[in-house]
Amino acid sequence: MDEGDEHSIKKVFGEQVRRFRKAKGHSQEDLADMCGLDRTYIGSVERGERNVSLVNIYKIAIALGVSPKELVN
Amino acid sequence: MDEGDEHSIKKVFGEQVRRFRKAKGHSQEDLADMCGLDRTYIGSVERGERNVSLVNIYKIAIALGVSPKELVN
DNA sequence: TTGTGACTATAAGTCCGTG
DNA sequence: ACACGGACTTATAGTCACA
């Protein structure tokens, strides 16, 4: 588990979030509001810049109407 | 998503880690070494005290030989 | 509507120890 | 082998103005 692995874990997670969000037809701001998180935070998650914590994984999953499993792969 | 929900998310995750760890016959210290994490940290994760981040979810899952999906439920 | 840099506050995570 | 604590360093959470 090196730096590159960590990068791709975050990237894949972000891509999943973006994919599900777009499938639902929401903007980042819509999703952020549903999660109770900041718009710019959601943006940075989708870009793979954040090492999102367990609780926020659930918040995002719930807002997207999916299981947390589907986000972590 | 209130305080109690967050508590139970962490608790359930910790229980899963403990369950898989014991199934493999490892001590907390064994697992910690395999993950590259601290012994006391693994203990507090299993007790449901930690809001574990995405990368550490993967580190723990890999060390346990399971999919991250199986830990987050 | 989203990307980005900068930022502060809080929690993650480490290392020492005890029972 | 594990729970738990104190003190500590580093990363993440969370927010903002601006492009």
pLDDT profile of chain A (73 residues), mean per 10: 91 97 97 96 96 96 96 88
CB contact under 8 A, B54 and A1: no
The reported pLDDT for the residue numbered B1 is 85
Find the CATH number of the domain harbouring A62. Answer: 1.10.260.40
Domain span including residue B61: 3-72
Q: What is the 3-state secondary structure (H, E, C) of B20-63?
A: HHHHHCCCHHHHHHHHCCCHHHHHHHHCCCCCCEHHHHHHHHHH
**C-alpha distance from A63 to closest chain B C-alpha (Å):** 11
Give me the pLDDT at residue B73, please: 78
- Please give the pLDDT value at position B32: 97
What does the pLDDT look like over A41-53, one tens digit per residue? 999 999 999 999 9
Query: Residue B13: which of A6, A52, A54 has the nearest Cβ?
Result: A54
pLDDT tens track for B23-60: 999 999 999 999 999 999 999 999 999 999 999 999 99
Question: What is the total count of domains within chain A?
Answer: 1
Cβ–Cβ pairs < 8 A, chains A and B: 55
Quick one: pLDDT at residue B35? 96
Residue B45, judged by CB atoms within 10 A of its CB (0-12, 13-18, 19+), counts as buried
Percent of chain A with pLDDT over 70: 100
Q: What pLDDT is attached to residue B2?
A: 87
φ/ψ of residue A53, rounded to 5: -90, 160
pLDDT of residue A68: 96
The pairs formed by B20-26 with CB atoms below 8 angstroms and a separation of 24 or more are B20/B64, B20/B66, B20/B70, B20/B71, B21/B46, B21/B64, B24/B64, B24/B65
The alpha-carbon gap from A11 to the nearest alpha carbon of chain B, in Å, equals 11
